[in-house]
Amino acid sequence: MSLLAGTTLLAACKGSGSASSADSVNVDSGQRTPVKLVKTAEMRFKVKDVRKVAEQISAWTALSGGTVVHHNMQSNIVNKQDITLANDSIKRLTVFNIQAEMVIKIPNEVVEPIMDSLNRLGVFVDDRKMDVEDRTIDYFAEKLKAKNREASVALRTQIKLTQKGADSLLQLKDDVVDRKVSNMRTDDAAKFSVINLSLYQNNTVTSELLANDDLGTYNSSIGVRLGLALSRGWYYFSEMIIVALHLWAFLLTGAVVWLGVYLYKRKKRSIPQPGA
C-alpha cells in the first residue's frame, strides 16, 4: 500500500511541471496570467488503527513535499474495572477509544491521489469533500491595482507634499504592500492545498496485571492471625509474671503485713470482753 501510494504521488509531482506551464488564461488582450485554483478538502473516516494510519499520513505528506501543520491525537477512557486476583495484585480492564485530528498542507496536484489513498486506508468514510475556488480574476485585479498605486506613489514623490499628502502617500504604500501580500497568499494557496482529516477507530480493551495499591487489603489469613493472637497473649502473660517476680520483696512485705493484721484482728475477737 505504501509503495503504491508513493509511486502515485511521485507520478503526480512529475506531471505537475508540464501542466503548470499551460495553466494560464487571457485576462487582458495583451497579458496572460496563470490560473490560480485554490483547493481545500476535508475527510472523516474510520480506520483499524489510528496511530498507524496517522504515521502513514505523515510519511505520505513528507513524500509529496508537504507539511503536517496540525496533529492532535487523544485517547478517551470509556469504562474501567479492577478485578482483585489476590491481596497484592489486581487485573485492570480498560475500554478506551482513540481519535486524531490532522491538518496537512500538500502540493495542489497531489490532492486527489492523497484522498484516494486515504480511502483505501479507511474501513469506511463518513464524509469526504473538496472545494476548488478559482481566484485567477481576483489575483489579476489585485496585481493591476497594485501597479496603479505604485504609479500614483511614483508621481506623488515628485511633488512637494503637505502633511496630509504625506499621510495619504503612506496609506497608498501600505495598500500596495497589502495587495502584494494578498497575492503572495493566493500564490501559496494555489501551490499548496490544505486538507483537514479526522480519524477514529473502534473501542479498544486492554488488560493489565498491577500491584494492588490499597494497603488495607494486605492482611494475613485467619489461621495466621489466630496463631499470632495466642503467641502475643502468652507473651503478655509471661511478661506479667516476670514483672511480678521483680516485685517479690514488695509482694512479700505486703503479704506479711496483711497476715499480721489478719491475725491481730482474729486474736482480738477471741479475747472475752468485760461484762459479757
Would 160 be classed as within a structural domain? no
Would 247 be classed as within a structural domain? yes
Q: Are residues 256 and 132 part of one domain?
A: no
Q: Are residues 200 and 70 part of one domain?
A: yes
Q: Are residues 235 and 119 part of one domain?
A: no
Q: Are residues 231 and 204 part of one domain?
A: no
Q: Are residues 134 and 231 part of one domain?
A: no
Dihedral angle sign, alpha carbons of residues 224, 230, 232, 238 = negative
Record the pTM.
Answer: 0.61
Q: Note the pLDDT tens digit of each residue in 162-186.
A: 555 555 666 767 777 777 787 788 8
Contacts of 78 (CB under 8 A, 6+ apart): 95, 96, 97, 203
The answer to whether the CB of 106 falls within 8 A of the CB of 8 is: no
Q: Note the pLDDT tens digit of each residue in 210-260.
A: 887 776 666 666 776 788 788 888 888 888 888 877 777 787 888 888 888
Q: How far, in Å, CA of 176 to CA of 134, rounded?
A: 23
In terms of DSSP bridges, do strands 192-200 and 124-134 run parallel, antiparallel, or are they unpaired? unpaired
Would 116 be classed as within a structural domain? yes
Read off the C-alpha cell for 97: 477509544
The answer to whether the CB of 105 falls within 8 A of the CB of 197 is: no
pLDDT-above-70 percentage for the chain: 75
Q: Are residues 194 and 68 part of one domain?
A: yes
Q: How many domains does the chain have?
A: 2
